[in-house]
Structure 1
Amino acid sequence: MAKIKVEGLTKIFGKKPKKALELLQQNKTKEEILKETGHTVGVNQASFEVEEGEIFVIMGLSGSGKSTLVRLLNRLIDPTSGSVWVDGEDLATMNNEQLRQTRRKKVSMVFQNFGLFPFRTILNNVEYGLEVQGMKKEEREQKARKALELVGLKGYEQMYPNELSGGMQQRVGLARALANDPDILLMDEAFSALDPLIRKDMQDELIDIQNKMQKTIVFITHDLDEALRLGDRILIMKDGSIVQIGTPEEILMSPENEYVERFVEDVDRSKVFTVEQVMIRAETVNADKEGPRVALQRMKEAKISSIYVTDRHRKLLGIVHAEDVSQLIKEGKDDLKEAMETEVPTVTKETVLRDMMDLLTERTNVPVAVVEDEKLKGIVVRGTVVAALSGSEVKLNGTSS
């Protein structure tokens, strides 16, 4: 079951939305409805699901409806029509007390504006929500300290907001949301007001926290680079409507229309694609049972000049080159390891392409080994990387077209 399920969710701003809703169902545009009724379409019949433990990014330009949509997810504003379910419970059927408890215990929100109380210490700011819930001081202080440690602010508990930088204040806002230990975090342009370097630090912080806690996060942004960096999946909005939903790779490689194409045309793909998306199967030779002649024959068949050497358990031992293997054969030697280089370039499947470009340019004649738990999982060659960065389709098995 999805953590959040949204069906036909619509929000029309105005005193008499019924007429506007009828026009919307007739596929009238946002502009046409505004002209005919004076009403504004905030969200237009949105339907999607958010899985437990994923970072689901909602992005779009100013006026696209993304901030309205996130406020509909916890009923900070009421929908004109449609439904939102959280853990199978329909928010629309909740009374005020049930909704209040859901917001306090299950869904926390982090805004772009830090919203800190200037005359409360950092610790008191973080424990504020728990204080409102009536939690005993000792317990809420313990939870607040734990949340501050999680966001890297241990030691700042007795300072005041004006003594912290903007990035640190945003960490306090995040800690305050985490102190409630919610299942779901709604983050509305949470990092948009920060300087670029601080913003990247906060993105890293969020990724680290997510790796530890596995929350369900709905993250709102207008920045595609941020969306691609954070999102397990991305929802793109325009004029209140959903344009496309997909993984970062799907958004980049298969944009739904010209609007999405314009979004992604200037993206530095090397910051997005990982090694796993471009790696191919490695030709190998098993040093425990195969010698120079087998290695040379395998290189000839594959039309390659180097081949990686493993043991019977596929543990990576090194690499040999055709020229050196040929010399071994001339000398009548059978131990392949005598010609083997043990210092070889390696990366993991999670390595971003940008972080491995130097390896490809430094040793253009040697493919880069992809290693996990010391075992060879595949290789990366220049061709598949070039194909990925140029926009050619790259499949997960590493073939390109």
Structure 2
Amino acid sequence: MASILNNAQNTNIHGGTFIINDKKGTAPSLDVLYKRVASNAILNAGGRADEVRCHPGTRKEVISRIEKWRDAPEGLTTSVFWLSGPFGAGKSAIVQTIAERCNEQGAPQANFFFFRTDISRNSVSPLVATLLHQVILLYPSVRETVATVLSANPLIFDCLLEEQLAQLIVVPLRAVQKSSASYRPLVLLIDGLDECDSDSKAGQQRILRAFDNVLVKQRHGVCLFRLLVASRVEPQISMSFKRLSTPFLPLYLNDDYSPETDIRLFITDEFKKVKSTHLLAYTLDETWPSVEDIDGIVEKSSGQFIYAATVMRFISNSSASPMLSLGKVQGVSESAGTSSPFSQLDAIYTYILSRADDQQALKDIFHAHSYSTNIKPQDPFIATHS
């Protein structure tokens, strides 16, 4: 240990407190990074509540289009892909499937899944840190580069988003690209952009603007990363995409991508699981469920996987006979309340409707619709928002 009295002679010291700091230039710490990472936002990091990957055999055309974009030679594709669709169309399942297929196929990817009700991943602040953490795992050689940047500016995660991307994503990736003879662009997957800062919505626009500015600056150089964004089609997001200087490839999940065929396959396979694994499977005969039963669920799904998934989860997890559970699903009324197997789904749709800009117009539509259907004015959304 070093001493402040090295080579001292004829010295007498009585009392006093002496502190020796023997620090010899330790490597810059990445602690400032890890404090900002949102582990819940990372695929398979243990924080995501549900597995939402695509059911085997479904969404083949959509997945194929995304992977062709991912693998296209530089100059023959855009740097940005926008996957959009209504709530429940299966966007998150597609993004998760793409991420897992990237891992299986050796395509480098980093991901961030926004989620409205999880405070650790419903804002802009942890985005770059979380992506950077995954970049370091992919390319350990950039640790020192990143540590140097963080040491020089420990407050960089409070800087403008564009500055964070430039210093903490572009700089490390450029170092990797220069040291590699066969660099493959990193795929950044951002799911649920519409669930980021859903109250102010400003964060959604900031993210797209920041990525656009960074991509524009590297337009004439080597492509370091490609960006896939999945979201619902909301005015501020659509407008932000239209204002991008970077060309983007849009894909909207509509009927062109045969959702009913995929939903039917999913339902059929799930019923097979019920008939082989449910505790009361022995009470079911070979003719159950009927073609009409499956057709009914497909029709009520209206192209949205979330309805079919909710139905099948209810039937699979219920301790009651699957026949009785299916009967309850078929007979449920729109005003069934919290006892409904769709109570969680109802809550989500109620939230979505409550965010509409013109609430009066929305109420007028619901009241007009109630005269042509069996919906009662006492039903949850109409009653609470009239």
Settle same-fold status: TM greater than 0.5.
no
Whichever structure has more strand as a proportion of its residues is 1
**Normalised TM-score (structure 2):** 0.33
**Normalised TM-score (structure 1):** 0.32
More contact order relative to length (CA 8 Å, sep ≥ 6): 2
